[in-house]
Amino acid sequence: MAEEAEGRVDLPPTPGSEQQAPHFLQDVIFHGKFKLLKALTPQESTLCQHGLFFLDGQRRVDYVLSYPSKKPSSGRSGRQATHLLTENAVARSLRRGPHSRGQHNPHHQAQRAKDPSGADVELGCPETLNGHEDQKILRREEFEGKLKDMGLELEKDEETKISGVSFVKIHAPWNILCREAELMKLKMPTKKVYEVKQLRGVVEKISSLVSKVVEPLHPQVEEHQQKNIKHLSHTFSREKQHLFDLSDKDYFFDSKTRSSIVFEILKRTKCKAKYSMGITSLLGNGVYTAAYPLHDGDINEECAVPNDRKLLYEEWANYGVFYKYQPIGLVRKYFGEKIGLYFAWLGLYTQMLIPASLVGVIVFLYGCATVDDNIPSMEICSTGNNITMCPLCDRVCSYWNLSSACATARASHLFDNPATVFFSIFMALWAAMFMEHWKRRQMRLNYEWDLTGFEDEEEALKDHPRAEYELRVMQKSTNKDQKAQHKIEKLTCQDRLPAYTTNIVMMLLMIGVTFAIVFGVILYRISTKAALYMSSNPVTRNNAQLTVKTTAAIINLVVILILDEVYGAVARWLTVLEVPKTDKSFEERLIFKTFILKFVNAFTPIIYIAFFRGRLVGRPGSYLYVFESYRMEECAHGGCLMELCIQLSITMLGKQLIQNNLFEIGVPKLKKLIRYIRSKQGAFQEEERKKKLQRYETDHFLEPFAGLTPEYMEMIIQFGFVTLFVASFPLAPLFALLNNIIEIRLDAKKFVTELRRPVAARAKDIGIWYNLLRGVANVAVIVNAFVISFTSDFIPRMVYQYMYSPDGSMHGFVNNTLSYFNVSHFQQGKEPMEPLYLGQPVQTCRYKDYRDPPWSTTPYEISKEFWAVLAVRLAFVIVFQNVVMLMSDIVDWLIPDIPKDISLQIHKEKILLVDLFLKEEQGKAGNLQHRSSMEGNENWSNNNNKHTNSTNSL
């Protein structure tokens, strides 16, 4: 095998291969031959273990580093080529020789002096290396040497099928795994097993019945142990290895744990070529191009060897199993606890959306069923009332009949009815129950995944500094006087003051940009509406309102999608400027900045429509103007709730369909295509496609894992859409549910097939995301209270019915909400150009407001009804907020954070651990006593023999 691997060479490209790449792209893009895309995916050997082990076939590849390398040119002289082959042969013989694993003879040292990186190619062409490349080689050589000093075993592969890329395969021996597992305080299962307490009585029967009903919904994942039996786990210790089952050392630490251990060593190992550097800095400086653990194997059907990746692809990352539960245990086993918690949270959130969707649909259907019985809608649609309304814009707009707004009024009732108040209260309680349910689910997973004692380890590791922080501290220390070199340097607030100032200014600037764009869309609506009303086409004039609303909502959506990408990059740049000390601090600061910017970007247009539009208008004869020419826009007679619903639905559906799904599918495919073209794989020669790539070569073309922040962020924004303005759009939970059903499988497929395997990270909770969820849920109560009070007509209807209605009904409500205006009081140049548009002269027109009529002693002044309605609105906000908050607190108090059975099992585990250690100590004491007694008996027998011998001699 070794000789075959050494003999691999890259075939030179055939003539005309450069011309085949454009034809391939034309076939895919223009002729629809999408099957050719399969040629992009490197086909592996039918042996799934190909590339997962060193050349000896025994040592597993736990981690891979890749770095750029230049192939020798063919235009060299014979002497140079012979010299190159000789040095390559010597280098290969040294790597295969007995001294290649840590024993360096003088001849080997001489070779390494010639070639600091150990690469065959770089040995043969020193003249092609500039000073920068030499520095990279020195850093790489020093870093790899220190990795060997740490006990890791390395194997290089320079003769790969990927042009310009070489690989370093890393293996951690058993003793290194044990040492690092003890340092990292990993909990491992012991030999001791115990029975998990099962439910008894009626609860057990109900649980078994439910289990039988939902059995088809469970994935076909083989359970390696019985559900009622659990291994007792304990922090690994080399002194207590006898407590653990070490019968199969190769699989005691699974691939996830092995790669995380190697990654900890890579982070801790420093390269002091210029500054103290770890693997993160080396990657940032281009010394290495990538560092990643390997996937377990292939997912193709031809693969006969089963592996966890293939099982996840079949039972999880597949749209055909969308109705099944997720195999969270297997996800955690393969990707680690942090990713497992994300998918567990996403699955629970999706399940909780089912009852919310059902109630939302019922509320919507209630609005559809009662629209014909709604008295205000009937009064608006009645042509007998013949109410003449004031113009909606200056000059070009004329008077219009209220009955023409019949369709808008009926549509508004679908979302503005008494049931929406109930739904708002229900969603507030739903959010509280979701948070409590997640805390219980999280605690259960902590118990099942042996994370109950993770707090101590987290406290110990939280102060581990980032490489960028260490670099800044070292740069600061070099600028100090020599007298202060013995002091421990750190970055102070004064050092970070420029970064903090930049953060504040840039955050305010980005928020100002969002406000400016919203203001621009307002001007677009005002000007476009005036232009459409000037049209001679009656169809255009009649549909002007709908056209303006829809196009403005689409423009807002496009701007939101663009600014989301910009704000994400700006937030990362600002966080890098701050130079946080730890990875956890960096992640939390980045999340907070990104959330603020994206939240403002997504909800500013909606907040404007809900709370500001139509309230800064003025009245006929005294309108409010922008730039002295643009009259502020009004709401339709049915209220702004319908427009709010249109804006909310287009933004939510657009973000989900375009940003969350289309981008997540299309962008990774496009990046993968670009990487293959750049790596000179665009020729797509038949013989090249038949070549089998190693596992680490295949994973090199996958997309690097960029963290869970984008996944969480889109779900948090969606949670805001579901809870914040649910009073205006009761179908939001249904659309979120449909999106999440696809989102789970889409994310799963991305993790399994499109991304490199991430390094497993342990976590006991979802971190700052829980606090953001709690904050959004609390803000949602206040926002919905204001939407019901000020945006909908719920409060004015209640006030009229119980205070002003002569018969206690809603008859006359529309007339009560309309004020009178004398058309002779129009400002000069603002009156309609066509005053006889309705076929008769108009003396007075009506507009929606609570003002005194022109014939009163205080014309056009705010009436008493306005103050009565305003007082009830404010009172409703206060009562609604406090009642819902109180009910949410009651829900929190009634539902315990830790399930009772889990609390009992945790207590039982502690008792069993104490018993285990007591028995161990007793065993040690018994062994010592037995050994001391044996030694005493031996001494007595020896003394007795000596006494007998002395007697005989006498």
Q: What is the pLDDT of residues 159-181, one digit of tens each?
A: 777 778 889 999 999 999 999 98
pLDDT of residue 139: 86
CA distance 218 to 315: 9
pLDDT single digits (tens) 290-307 = 999 999 888 875 555 778
More confident residue, 858 or 682: 858
Winning range, highest mean pLDDT, from 239-253, 607-621, 677-691, 794-808: 794-808
> Residue 375's pLDDT is what?
87
**Which residues is 847 bridged to in the sheet?**
819
Q: Express each pLDDT in 783-838 by its tens digit.
A: 989 988 888 888 999 999 898 888 888 888 888 889 999 988 888 888 888 877 77
| Contact criterion met (CB below 8 Å) for 264 and 184 | yes
Q: Copy the structure tokens of residue 425.
A: 């209260």
Q: Read off the pLDDT band of 511 (50, 70, 90).
A: very high
Place of tokens 């739904």: 423
DSSP 444-479: HHHHHTT-TTHHHHHHHHTTPBPHHHHHHHHHHHHT
Integer-rounded Cα radius of gyration of the chain: 36
The strand ranges marked E within 293-407 are 388-389, 400-401
Sign of the Cα pseudo-torsion (374, 380, 382, 384, in order): positive
Predicted confidence at residue 304, as pLDDT, reads: 53
In the prediction, which pLDDT does 347 show?
Answer: 94
Residue percentage of the chain with pLDDT more than 90: 20
Evaluate if residue 349 carries a pLDDT over 60: yes
> Which of 226-240, 793-807, 889-903 has the largest mean confidence?
793-807
pLDDT grade, residue 335 (50/70/90)?
very high
Residue-wise pLDDT tens digits, 587-604: 889 999 999 999 999 899
Query: Considering only CA atoms, which of 218, 440, 227 is closest in space to residue 327?
Result: 218
pLDDT digits (tens, 9 = 90+) for 76-96: 333 333 333 333 333 334 333
Output the pLDDT for position 76.
38
pLDDT for 901: 79
In whole angstroms, what is the distance from residue 831 CA to residue 821 CA? 13
446 within 8 A of 764, measured Cβ to Cβ: yes
Q: What is the largest CA-CA distance in the chain?
A: 154
Query: How much is the pLDDT for 464?
Result: 67
The alpha carbon dihedral of 847, 849, 855, 860 has a sign of negative
The CA distances from residue 755 to 164, 288, 456, 763, in Å, are 22, 19, 32, 21
What band does 583 get if pLDDT is binned at 50, 70 and 90? confident
Question: Which of the pair, 489 or 11, is modelled with greater confidence?
Answer: 489
How far apart are the C-alpha atoms of 666 and 670, rounded to whole Å?
6
pLDDT value at 462 more than 70: no
Report the pLDDT value the prediction gives residue 694, as an integer from 0 to 100.
83
User: How does residue 482 score in pLDDT terms, banded at 50, 70 and 90?
Assistant: very low
* 3-class secondary-structure state, position 863: coil
Band of residue 408 on the pLDDT scale cut at 50, 70, 90: confident
Per the CB < 8 A criterion, the answer to whether 397 and 391 are in contact is yes
Given a cut of 90, whether residue 1 has pLDDT beyond it is: no
SS3 of the chain: helix, strand, coil, percent, to 5: 60, 10, 30
- Tens of pLDDT along 376-405? 888 888 877 778 888 888 888 888 888 888
Could you tell me the pLDDT band of residue 930, with boundaries at 50, 70 and 90?
low
Q: Which residues pair with 430 in a beta bridge?
A: none
Q: Report helix angle 328-335 to 418-448, nearest 10.
A: 60
CA distances (Å), origin 518, targets 393, 557, 632, 786: 21, 11, 14, 21
Which pLDDT score, from 0 to 100, does residue 618 have? 84
Average pLDDT over residues 44-71: 75
In residues, how long is the chain?
954
